[in-house]
Amino acid sequence: MAEQFDSRKISVLPHVLSVNISPGGIPKLPVDSVWIVSDGLKGDGHNHEKHRTPLQAVCLQDIETLEELQSDGFELDCGEIGENITVKNLFINQLPVGTILEFSGGVVIEMTKVRKPCYVLDQIDPRLKDLLMGRCGIYAKVLKEGLLQKGETIRVQMHSA
């Protein structure tokens, strides 16, 4: 029997490649879907005070950065550097703070702060902090709660000053 066509597999639109949670720390592990509420992803532990703020409720990273690190010899997969949402075709570090991301399932977030590499990356490799400086992803606050699923497309609204 032929495999059914799935447009998400060939999408060039920005989309959610992986949704990742952990009870605390890294790595975060992929799940198919998760509820996103004002203080973050349900079931995702925030074991440090700096993560308990609505302005840092969600952490995003693009797969393209992880692939660059993989080509440099690091064995990294989605969620391993602590991001909640791994995206494809959306170059996170090129978007300004204030950018709004609307997910096709209804969740809406606003990018709030560039993420700095954390000491927990030393568990993987001490060189990662330097390599990720300026491209470690971004934090976001939740504007509209809901269920987020792997494969959802993302609509980008640039912040207007």
What's the confidence (pLDDT) of residue 161? 56
pLDDT in tens, 27-55: 999 999 999 999 999 999 865 555 668 89
DSSP annotation of 66: H
Given a cut of 50, is residue 80 above it in pLDDT?
yes
In the chain the domains, ranked by start, together with CATH numbers, are 7-157 (2.40.33.20)
C-alpha gyration radius of the chain: 15
Q: Per-residue confidence at 11, pLDDT binned at 50, 70, 90?
A: low
The number of angstroms, rounded, from the C-alpha of 49 to the middle of its chain's C-alpha atoms is: 20
